[in-house]
Amino acid sequence: MRVISGDLKGRSIKFLKNLNTRPLKDSVRENIFNILYHSSLIKTKIGKSNILDVYSGIGSFGIECISRGAEKVTFVEQDINATLVLKENLINLSIFNKSIVHNKKIENVLPDLNEKFNIFFFDPPFKDNSYLQNIKLIKRKKIFKKNHIVIVHREKGTKDEFSDILKMIDSKKYGRSKILFGVFN
């Protein structure tokens, strides 16, 4: 697994081989960033952004954001083994100073977050629907900037209901993955 673009382009990212985590495929990650950069529907820019990467695993999405000029990424991952690999990646890439890492469940982190974010990336386990409550809490707390985007990675067959939380902007399918883009309504 490698960083696709930016200052860290081509650098390796270590990943876990276990059943608890599913790394975001390079091709899917590349397509997400192509949409972020080229869609006329998305007003949020990565450069100088403050990003919340939830269910971050080994951090490939947030690391890619830092490589592309993000100001800071807050990573939230409850699995200790994934968190250890994430921290190792941040140290090896010399970007630990642009990140905050929480080894906790997101519902234990959100109540204490008071800063505002531009980009939210949710990559929950495909069978987990509790993440919707966390998106609702972000909306209630208003910890999003005016120009923001919420990106959700799901299995293509899932039927999640976002109408009372997000205005959906776009949806793309790649293999068994579905990527949803929305803004708080």
Dump pLDDT digits (tens) for 115-139.
999 999 999 988 888 899 999 999 9
Residue 77 has pLDDT above 60, yes or no: yes
Residue type, position 134, single letter: N
Residue range 141-166, pLDDT digits in tens: 999 999 999 999 998 888 888 989 99
Return mean pLDDT, the chain.
Answer: 92
Delimit the domains of the chain by residue range: 26-184
Confidence of residue 18 (pLDDT cuts 50, 70, 90): low
Dihedral sign (CA 4, 102, 118, 97): negative
> Contact at 8 Å (CB) between 44 and 36?
yes
Confidence of residue 26 (pLDDT cuts 50, 70, 90): confident
Distance, CA of 154 to chain centre: 12
Strand ranges inside 5-61, DSSP E = 50-54
Strand ranges inside the chain, DSSP E = 50-54, 72-76, 99-102, 117-122, 144-155, 166-174, 177-184
**Class of domain 26-184 (CATH, top level):** alpha beta
In angstroms, the CA 6 to CA 93 distance is 13
